[in-house]
Amino acid sequence: MFKKLKSSLNNLKKSLNISKKLEDKKLKKILDQLEDELINSNIAYSVVEKIIDDIKNSKSNEIKDVLEKSIRDILTFEKKDILVSKNKPTKIMFIGVNGAGKTTTIAKVAKKIKDNKKTCVIAAGDTFRAAAIEQIKQHGDNLEVNVISHDYGSDSTAVAYDAVDHARSKKLDFVLIDTAGRNQSNNDLMNELKKMKNKIKPDFTIMVIDSMVGNDSVEQAKKFDSDIGIDGFIITKMDAEETGGAILSSVYETKKPIFYLGTGQNYENLIEFDIEKIIKQIL
Ligand SMILES: Nc1nc2c(ncn2[C@@H]2O[C@H](COP(=O)(O)OP(=O)(O)O)[C@@H](O)[C@H]2O)c(=O)[nH]1
Ligand SMILES: [Mg+2]
């Protein structure tokens, strides 16, 4: 992951270390080039601007330090563990566009909960996409976790409600609520998610983002956050991701934390977000 971003920043480090004493015109040319490279790495323009400004305003000669500070500014947030919560059951709603990895991520989170010796139930809240209910049920079978489902086309809020009821009566620790893939421009579907959120009042609403989507993910994140309200992200497919821009951009634009990173298709491929590791990989 981060191959492209790393190489852009490396090029910058090389050229700026040589040209720190160069006249402004030359520095401007190098920064323009960096701007292009960062944008090509799927980094949103606002983030690119911040990094360039940080470089321009820095008095340090060590470009690496300046970049590190920029990235730390963007990716530092209060650490919150979604799997440690006072409420029982803790309700977690997963939202995001089709194919982002919601269903797979829910299975991975269920696995983590079981590994922590806690209990959960899954709500098959994607009543929209063909085979979605079978997909989540299969995960439930594999993990020995109950999945509450209704028929296709039924009200997803009712499914979530039933799952919460089930968790209450069985004294389970968590309810993981799957939802249908939503294109952020589809108003009907966005309204359905809003309704679910209002009725269920989840402890956490997590937006799942595919890291390979690139710049478009920023628009998705902003829209989901403004319409539904999110508490943070799980970024998936980090195993396949080459640019790294989606992470920086989505977080910078929404100021919401990243809870986990998905790093593969297996249940154990869900790792905690660790800024030190990310910095090591990028710089
Ligand atoms: N390589 C990789 N694939 C993933 C990851 N997370 C999800 N996927 C794959 O992405 C595809 C879509 O996932 P799914 O959970 O069905 O997405 P949903 O539509 O948001 O529920 C599936 O083929 C998953 O196996 C990940 O972290 N890495
Ligand atoms: Mg799904």
Residue 114 vs residues 104, 144, 173, 187: alpha-carbon distances, Å:
16, 9, 10, 36
Q: Whose CA is nearest to atom 5 of ligand 1?
A: 237
Domains annotated on the chain, with CATH: 3-75 (no CATH), 90-274 (3.40.50.300)
Atom 10, ligand 1: which residue's CA is nearest? 101
269 within ligand 1 shell (Cβ under 6 A):
yes
Q: Can you give the pLDDT at residue 23?
A: 60
Average pLDDT, the chain: 88
pLDDT tens figures, 19-62: 555 566 777 887 888 888 888 777 778 888 888 888 888 776 67
Interatomic CA distance for residues 31 and 9, integer angstroms: 11
User: Considering the chain, what percentage of its residues have pLDDT values greater than 70?
Assistant: 92
Establish whether residue 236 lines the binding site of ligand 1, counting it when its CB lies within 6 angstroms of any ligand atom: yes
Ligand 1 centre and the CA of 77: distance in Å?
26
User: DSSP string of the chain?
Assistant: --HHHHHHHHHHHHHHHHHTTS-HHHHHHHHHHHHHHHHHTT--HHHHHHHHHHHHH---S-HHHHHHHHHHHHH------TT--SSSSEEEEEE-STTSSHHHHHHHHHHHHHHTT--EEEE----SSTTHHHHHHHHHHHHT-EEE---TTS-HHHHHHHHHHHHHHHT-SEEEE------TT-HHHHHHHHHHHHHH--SEEEEEEEGGGTTHHHHHHHHHHHHT--SEEEEE-TTT-SS-HHHHHHHHHH---EEEEE-SSSTT-EEE--HHHHHHHH-
| Mean pLDDT of the 111-121 span | 97
Q: What is the pLDDT of residues 246-271, one digit of tens each?
A: 778 888 889 999 999 999 999 999 99
| pLDDT of the residue at 64 | 79
pLDDT exceeds 80 at position 73: yes
Q: How far does residue 276's CA lie from ligand 2's centre (Å)?
A: 31
pLDDT tops 90 at residue 144: yes
pLDDT per position as a tens digit, 206-249: 999 998 887 778 888 999 999 999 999 999 998 886 666 777 88
Separation of CA 266 and ligand 1 centre (Å): 10
Closest ligand 1 atom, residue 97 Cα: 20
Rounded to an integer, what distance in angstroms lies between the CA atom of residue 199 and that of residue 276? Answer: 38
pLDDT at residue number 228? 95
Spell out which residues have Cβ within 5 A of ligand 2, the ion.
102-103, 126
pLDDT number for residue 241: 63
- Region 162-176: mean pLDDT is 98
Let me know: does 126 contact 132? Beta carbons within 8 Å.
yes
Whether 211 is in the pocket of ligand 1, judged by its Cβ within 6 Å, is no
Q: Report whether pLDDT(18) > 90.
A: no
Does the C-beta of 58 come closer than 6 Å to ligand 1? no
Pocket test for ligand 1, best of 106, 236, 258, 272 (most atoms within 8 A of CB): 236
Most confident of 46-50, 108-112, 278-282: 108-112
131 lines ligand 1 (CB under 6 A): no
At residue 206, the pLDDT reads: 98
The answer to whether the CB of 242 falls within 8 A of the CB of 3 is yes
Ligand 1 near 271 CB (within 6 A): no
